[in-house]
Chains A and B, each alone.
Chain A
Amino acid sequence: MIEVIATGPQNTVQDLGREGHRHIGVATAGAMDSLALRTGNLMLANAPGSAAVEVQTFPLKVRFSADGVIALTGADGRATLDGRELLPWWALPVKAGQVLEIRHPRQGARVYLCVAGGIDVPQLMGSRSTALRGGFGGLEGRALQAGDELAVGQANALSIGAEGFGVRPPSCAMAQALPVQADGALALRAIPAGEAHWFGNDLTRFWAQSWKISAQSNRTGYRLAGEPIQAEQSREMRSYGLVPGVVQVPPGGEPIVQLSDANTAGGYPKVAGVIEADLWRLGQAAIGSRIRFVEASPREAIAADAAIECYLAGVGRVIEMRG
């Protein structure tokens, strides 16, 4: 059991999401940084889709009521265990009674508290992810609160020394495979979408400028601030199915990137779609930071997926070598 002593709002139990229910309006939900979750689960010999706590407001303070093994992945939350500083991307044993605190990261947005055995909340429609807007899944369909107790599932056999072990974060290990921007904006690879041509000359500005992630951004989507882009004529669209990563442009002209908790259908014109292999990076983009869209092709998206699999295979080898 993990007891929540203190938490910010909007911290939830998430796994890799709820697939296969879009046709009844159910969003996938799931970890915003799915790579951090997959890596954490790999480090703990969990099934890839085991659930963890996604921490996006700080501090989070928990007490372990039994011995176990945890891994902290995602942003560096400058975590402490009974006051002792921990490294990020690290798996380590914890003892009953120890207190873990995760603080505001200096970089990145979301920390994943993964636990050997996974967070054991009931599976609903094939997933343990919290659907915050729908109010179901996760722990009672809501964000965590002080006083909550999270059950932990049965862990697999795991050999881990007293000090634990770490892996290289994907942003370092994969650096060569990721696009870089000279001005520090996070470059996200995206493919032009159906209504890109509606924007005429403004389309150049969509790709060229860096967009700021506004304060109205959360797991549902990021609202971007910048010089607006306008369609040459406004047309009412029929509602269409959408997937996380779609970049829509509402009448005001500042784009919205729809993410894990987005509606499964919408009616705004769409200008681009961020490739799935870059969504974990967007999930770590903090409010106030800047992003830029870089045009990519499906073949580049395939290569980007391959780079992620290659990273995970590398993590797997580190674990194997430890025996």
Chain B
Amino acid sequence: MNQPLQAMEPFTVHLAEPAARVSLIGARAYLLEAPGELTLEAQRRIWALSQALLARPEVESVVPGMTNLLVLFRQIPPEPAPVIEQLQHLWRTADPLHRAGRTHEIAVHYGGEHAIDLPALCDYAGLSDQEVVRRHHQSRYSVFAVASAPGFGYLGGLDPALYMPRKQVPSLHMLKGMVTIGGMQSGIAVLDGPNGWNSIGFADTVMFDASAAQPALLAPGDTVCFLPERIEL
């Protein structure tokens, strides 16, 4: 009864939210999806949960996604129910982890031959090309997760006026380096090939080097600023 309110507060706040959804992929991988909006605050709790789980001997690896976390166990849990309950409990009690990330300034050539989806984005957003480019480089972005392809950073912080769904049919000949928008996320393509995101520019930055001690340039918690090196409209 005499518990100081301050200590209780964060716990109480998380208890009030709906439980995280947990499902299986195969027998050994469990996916926890945070309830609520896609926010940096929720993602910080994913990072905390991720760190806590990695310290456990029964966990082989974790893959943070966008306000979700895939947990791979070393052994197959015979009964899912207790694992699900435990993951939900850990989520409820996870406090945001603030990461002192690095800041990356990435030079972008906006428009031009690689901005193949800029006209469609202008139509969809009802904005001029100058306005799309201005809004894109004026935001500061947080690296939510590095996933999908080697060194690919999912960037949060996109101006909502620029949200645009992924394409129904991916474009086949997308290039590594294209600066793209997929839904409410932005990112720099790291592979040539099929990709459903919308390209508005090009960045000639090495995002991944397999032979380096730290192969990926970006890490969760880092900040990305796009510098308009050239605007060709």
Within the assembled complex, what's the spacing in Å between the Cα atoms of A77 and B187? 43
Contact of A298 among B60, B66, B67, B76 (CB under 8 A): B76
Assuming A22-B61, A25-B149, A238-B65, is B210 touching A124 (CB within 8 A)? yes
CB of A191 closer than 8 Å to a CB of B: yes
- Which of A26, A242, A270 makes the CB contact (< 8 A) with B150? A26
Q: Judge whether A228 is part of the interface by a CB distance below 8 angstroms.
A: no
Name the 10 nearest CB pairs between A and B, nearest first: A241-B63, A241-B70, A194-B23, A301-B27, A273-B26, A265-B147, A136-B210, A238-B66, A24-B216, A240-B65
Query: Which residue on A lies nearest to B50, using beta carbons?
Result: A23
Chain A residue nearest to B211 in the complex (CB): A124
**Is A276 engaged at the interface, CB distance under 8 Å to the other chain?**
yes
CB pair B148 A239 closer than 8 Å: yes
Residues of A within 8 A of B (CB-CB), count: 46
Cβ-closest chain A residue relative to B64: A23
Q: Which of A141, A241, A265, A305 has the most CB of B within 10 A?
A: A241
Residues of B within 8 A of A241 (CB): 31, 63-65, 68-70, 147
A251 within 8 A of B: yes
Instruction: Assess the B76–A134 pair: CB atoms within 8 A.
Output: no
* Bound CA–CA A198/B3 (angstroms): 44
Check B193 for interface membership: any CB of A closer than 8 A: yes
Q: Would A25 and B29 be within 8 Å (CB), given that A134-B208, A238-B67 are in contact?
A: no
Q: What 1/0 mask marks residues of chain A from 262 to 287 whose CB sits below 8 Å from any chain B CB?
A: 01111100100111100000000000
Contact of B65 among A124, A245, A265 (CB under 8 A): A265
Whether A203 sits at the interface, judged by CB under 8 Å, is: no
Is the CB of B206 closer than 8 A to any CB of chain A?
no
Query: Which of B's residues lie within 8 Å of A, judged by CB?
Result: 21, 23-29, 31, 33, 38, 60-70, 72, 76-80, 145-152, 154, 165-166, 168, 183, 185, 190-191, 193, 208, 210-211, 215-216
- The interface residues of chain A lying within 8 Å CB-to-CB of B215 are 21, 24, 26, 125
CB<8 Å pairs between A and B, sample of 5: A137-B210, A276-B26, A276-B28, A298-B80, A301-B27
B151 in contact with A25 (CB, 8 Å): yes
| Bound: A131/B208 CA distance, A | 13
Residues of B within 8 A of A141 (CB): 210
Report the Cα distance A21→B190, complex, angstroms: 16
Contacts of A125 in B (CB 8 A): 210, 215
Counting residue pairs across A and B whose Cβ atoms lie within 8 Å, the total is 151
Given contacts A25-B148, A239-B147, A264-B147, contact A301 B63 (CB under 8 A): no
Contact A191 B183 (CB under 8 A): no
Q: How long is the Cα–Cα vector from A304 to B6 in the complex, in angstroms?
A: 50
A176 to B161 CA separation, bound complex (whole angstroms): 59
Nearest B residue to A301 via CB reads: B27
Contact B61 A236 (CB under 8 A): no
Min distance, Cβ A304 to any Cβ of chain B, angstroms: 9
Chain A residues with Cβ under 8 A from B152's Cβ?
25
Complex interface: chain A residues within 8 A of B166 (CB): 236, 267
Cross-chain contact of B24 among A136, A240, A273 (Cβ < 8 A): A273
- The closest CB in chain A to the CB of B25 belongs to A273
Counting CB contacts under 8 A, is A20 at the interface? Answer: yes
- Residues from chain B with Cβ under 8 Å of A236 in the complex: 165-166, 183
CA–CA, A243 to B30, complex, Å?
10
- From the candidates B28, B65, B150, B193, name the one contacting A131 in the complex (CB within 8 A): B150
* A136-B68 Cα distance, complex, nearest whole Å: 28
Contact of A299 among B29, B78, B147, B154 (CB under 8 A): B78
Partner of B147, one of A23, A124, A301: A23
Q: Would you call A193 and B25 a contact (CB within 8 A)?
A: yes
Name which of B29, B69, B80 has the most chain A CB atoms within 10 A of its CB: B29
Q: Are A134 and B210 in contact (CB under 8 A)?
A: yes
Complex CA gap A192/B21 in Å reads: 15
Contact partners of A315 in chain B: CB under 8 A? none
Is B68 in contact with A238, judged by CB distance below 8 angstroms?
yes
Give the chain A neighbours of B151 by CB distance below 8 A: 24-25
Check if A133 is an interface residue, CB within 8 A of chain B. Answer: yes
Contact (Cβ within 8 A) A25 B150: yes
Q: Is the CB of A240 within 8 A of B70?
A: yes
B residues within 8 A CB of A266?
A: 148
A25-B190, A241-B63 are known; give 15 further A-B pairs, CB within 8 A. A20-B61, A136-B211, A193-B24, A239-B145, A239-B154, A240-B33, A241-B64, A243-B26, A245-B26, A264-B148, A265-B65, A273-B25, A273-B27, A298-B27, A299-B78
